[in-house]
Chains A and B, each alone.
Chain A
Amino acid sequence: MNDPAARLLARIRAELGRGDGAATPGRPPSIEACRRVAADESCVAVFMEQGKRAVLMVREAGTADVAERVAEEIAAVSAKRVVVAGDAVTGPVLEEAAKRAGAVVVRRARTTRSGPMRR
């Protein structure tokens, strides 16, 4: 342990919570993964009113499974009236999800670029 480089690597392992040896990592994320992400991921946000109190945000999800996830979330908090915020693609998906969960969409808002709904 007299080698400063070995001491540095040992300190790093200690902070990473690993034992003595370096874990062999998998391959780093690749550009190909990015292309897939670009194809099916978009930003969505859902504001829900349960009584007057509950506010729920789903900040990011793939549009493919978002309707199902949002419907589950709405059902979980027994929301009756839902304010949906989404863009031209995600808005209709969210509205459909809310209706599927038996809630009434009382308002449709645009996603904003700042504040709590910021992507």
Chain B
Amino acid sequence: MSAGHEILFPRLPYDMAPRVGRARGDISLQQFVHQATRSKDAGRRGAMQEAFGERADDLRRLAGEIKQHTLDHLDHYLGLWIERARAAGTTVHVAETAEEANEICLAIAKRAGCTTCVKSKSMVTEETGLLAKLAAAGIPTLETDLGEFIVQLDGDAPSHIVTPMIHKDRRSVARAFVRELSAAYTEDPRALTMIAREHMRTSFHRADLGVTGANFLLAESGGLVLCTNEGNADLTVACPRVHVAMVGIEKVIPSVRELPLFLKLLARSATAQPITVYTTVLTGGRREGEDGPEESHVILVDAGRTKLLREEARELLRCIRCGACLNACPVYRKAGGGHAYGAVYSGPIGAVLTPELRGLMNYPDLPHASSLCGACFEACPVAIDIPHHLLRLRSALVASGAPTLRERAVMRLWGWALRSPARYRVMARVAAWVLRRLADARDENGGLWFREAPGPAGGWTRDRDLPAPAERSFRELWAQEESR
């Protein structure tokens, strides 16, 4: 099993702390992820504002409502898509589990006598671990998304939904190309891209199996929409004689009428572009006199998604995998990117999707991997209230008895104090008095700080200072203000 596989499929239950600890100490990693996410987040805000101005939030809400409507009637829209796609010549398969999806893909490849595969970026195939399955059956696969290609060369795992190599810089890419492709060392991005392109072109022409995902399924026409900036998905579909698209069942939208709204929001949210460079709608297989694959298959993947259709979780299936919430999230940034989450889906959306798909008790840390600042909700182009779902999962953890005895005791004491304003005031005063006496440092203005906080609070001061409570509370200042 590769190191990359171990990153996305760690031993369960998953403990986030060791990887976060390592990432926190890696200054280069912190810089890469910080710079990349900050610039993408700023780009998204600028692009949304420029295009939609004051209406940006209304468009996000509308897109969310359309996805919600589709999910509320998923039986109708998915049924319609299956019917129309079959009528257009697509062979539609259905997989209940990730394993079944891989089996179906492998069976298609074997029956068609495929020996080599090219693949464009697809989160579902990451989820199912398709590449390992194909490799075990003697069908090597080349990742054709540039970021995924580099990650594959390094035996690594993607660290971001949209920009999988967010945790790497051009020097590490240059080293990988020298090591794996015997290329001359260069750090020039254009030269690096040309090296990758030359390597991939040969594989595109040689491969007999092309695997893609899909960004959207259009129910009314049975179409499948692919968006890439490199055109690699189009080559993956067009060159090999067999095309297999592995798609989550939640990707369906009603028709092509709704598509422009989603394309506008997807491109701006993911990469701050007005539209993705290559946007392709595929409907059915190859027609008379046209180029294209001899066989067109779509595998609809459930893998736990129908369970998310229950009312309390349904909203999560709106996600269009733009990665905007990852770029906006301060925790994702400080955790050094997606590897810390120990799963295919990382960041805020991963912190709720992964426990839902792979078991809450297998990922008890993830719902807590958030400051609940709400930046993810503000960034989401389909208005998923991620903080609400984080709190819902935290409640479920508490209800399941997951908190330790100490946590329960502290919370009980806290609750007891909060139930009475008088008790709260007394306890806050006592705590402030004690903490001010325990503070072990002063700043240039005479303010008190902890360099090493006592007891469990010491976790906070491992990486930063902690201010001691102010001499006078907000309540006291407020009362003084009012009495003037």
Contacts and interface: CB of A to CB of B under 8 A. Distances in A.
A22 B373 contact: no
Among B72, B74, B82, max chain A CB count under 10 A is at: B74
A76 interface: no
Nearest to B373: A114
Contacts of A114: 373-375
A38 B55 contact: yes
Contacts of A30: 257
B58 A5 contact: no
B96 interface: yes
A7 interface: yes
Contacts of B93: 4
Given A4-B93, A114-B374, A9 B69 contact: no
The majority secondary structure among interface residues of chain B is: helix
B75 A16 contact: yes
Interface residues of A, number: 31
B309 A8 contact: no
A38 B62 CA distance: 10
Contacts of A7: 94, 96
Contacts of B257: 30
Interface string A26-42: 00111101100110010
Contact of B72 (A11, A16, A37, A38): A16
B76 A24 contact: yes
Interface in B52-98: 54-55, 57-59, 61-62, 65-66, 69-70, 72-79, 82, 92-96
A12 B58 CA distance: 29
Nearest to B95: A4
Interface stretch (B162-170, B233-241, B300-308): B300-308
A9 B78 CA distance: 8
B59 A16 contact: no
Interface string B85-118: 0000000111110000000000000000000000
A119 B92 contact: no
Interface of B: 54-55, 57-59, 61-62, 65-66, 69-70, 72-79, 82, 92-96, 249, 254, 257-258, 261, 300, 302, 306-307, 309-310, 373-375, 377-378, 421
- State the 9 A-B residue pairs at the shortest beta-carbon distance, nearest first: A25-B73, A4-B94, A15-B309, A34-B62, A22-B75, A22-B76, A29-B65, A38-B58, A12-B75
14 contacts: A4-B96, A5-B82, A5-B92, A9-B75, A9-B78, A24-B76, A34-B59, A34-B62, A37-B58, A38-B58, A41-B58, A114-B373, A118-B374, A119-B57
Given A15-B309, A114-B374, 4 more contacts: A7-B94, A28-B254, A31-B62, A115-B374
